[in-house]
Amino acid sequence: MPNFRQVIAFHRLKTRKQMACSKGLNQRLKEDRISQLPESLICQILSHLPSKETVKTSVLSTRWRSLWLCVPSFDLACWQLPKINDFKSFGDKFFDSNRVSCIHEVKLFIGDTGLRKGVDDVPSYLMPWFDAAINRKIQHLDAWFPPCSFKMPLRLYTCETLVSLKLFHVTLDGVEFVSLPCLKTLHLKYMWYRKEANFERLVTCCPVLEELKISGCVNDNAKVFRVLSRSLKKLRIKTDKNDQGFGSGFVIDAPRLCFLRINDKLSESFIITDVDPNAKVDISLSFGLSVIDEASVLSRRSTIRSFLHGISKVRDMTLCRDTFKFICQYSKIELLPQFGYISSLRVTFRVSDVKWLPTFLGRFSNLKSLILVWNTNSKKMYSKELHQFIYSAVQECLLSSLEFVDIKTGISGHAAELQLVMFLLMNSTILKKLTVRLNYYCTDEKHIIKTLLELPRRSTKCKVVIY
């Protein structure tokens, strides 16, 4: 018969086992709390994973087996499933026409496996996918194709729920009717435009479009691309020398446009008729000129004049070195327009063009912030050209408005660099802050810092900050 101590020990052991079982159950419940969530919330969580990872959750339990098919987002790339049959099968399951759950976002990266060269329409197996996506109220579509100039299903261009559309290697030929009432973002990369009207129609028939990005162009007959939009706020245009049959330029009429970035080496004309007066522009443009000199600029005289007047009333401007150079060459032919509304300016230039800076700044009567960037070999900042700069007439912006100067290029202590800094300090009457960076390879850092801090300043409130 067990004694008292044995009974106590038995009860303690039983209690420990019960506590251990309870702890293990609680731990398992904690670990699987996600399964206790509503199905809609689980699908929303899974939508943040790549589709290939989402499918793996189907092995967790019977409940999870088909959950991935209800996730509102889907992405599929040819390199994930290189075999065309596997690729088709995976997509067919998700885009099953019998399903009614909404699709929020689709990203498709289609390879050239199994495609015939010269085919115009998208592969037949993709048609049911696009139909299903449109029927299930797709909002965001990102479709990348190999360079075969595919035609998208015409239904896509009348989809009432699309908010964002990004297309790569697609032709707009045959798109006669467009109605995208909810589209706010449109990215077009290496598109094929056979008619100017196709591009214009696509943009103008998006009544709430806010962001347009054009990267690369391939054309047959399109010459001028017209961006006409009452709602557009952001526009990015990029072309390169490999673009085939590129037209002669762009026309931009977008009164609400507040951000414009142009990186275009091919367009021979660029007309801006209307933008928001508070717009920010970032311009890398050479009007198709391979050589930027007075003679070549003269051949684009009227085009450049129109462009400069079009951007003269914005508030924030960034110019690349080629753009600054052709503006300087143009100033030898005609007087530059007044840029009296611009308060912030960033200029990148070659050191050999520093002599033009005073003439250029003379057209900015209300400039408050100036950022300067030049190529790093300051030894080539020729003394003759710098002499012209130092002893040129002091510009109005230095006397009345300039408050901040930031020299982004690291200086090494060359005489030309120090003279440039001194010119800005001695002639800016209300300057509050001048920022200078030292070159990484600077050998006499302490001496340069001492010299910079001892330079005379016309503004008693000016601080010199050195990094």
pLDDT tens column, 280-300: 999 999 898 889 999 999 999
Q: Where are the beta strands (DSSP E) in 254-383?
A: 259-264, 269-274, 280-285, 316-319, 344-349, 369-374
Give the residue-averaged pLDDT of 24-52: 64
Q: Locate the DSSP E strands across 52-122.
A: 73-77, 105-109
Residue type at 73? S
* pLDDT tens digits along 449-461: 999 999 999 999 9
pLDDT for 156-182, tens place per residue?
999 999 999 999 988 887 788 999 999
Confidence tier at 29 by pLDDT (50, 70, 90): very low
Residue 381 has pLDDT above 70, yes or no: no
* Per-domain residue ranges of the chain: 343-467
Percent of the chain topping pLDDT 90: 47
Q: Tell me, what amino acid is at 435?
A: T
Cβ 388 vs Cβ 369: under 8 Å:
no
Q: What are phi and psi of 228, to 5 degrees?
A: -115, 110
What pTM did the predictor assign? 0.84
235, containing H or E segment: strand 234-238
Please report the pLDDT score of residue 25 as a whole number: 47
Please give the structure tokens belonging to residue 449. 């810092």
- Determine the Cα–Cα distance for residues 326 and 321; give it in Å rounded to an integer: 9
Average pLDDT over residues 340-349: 96
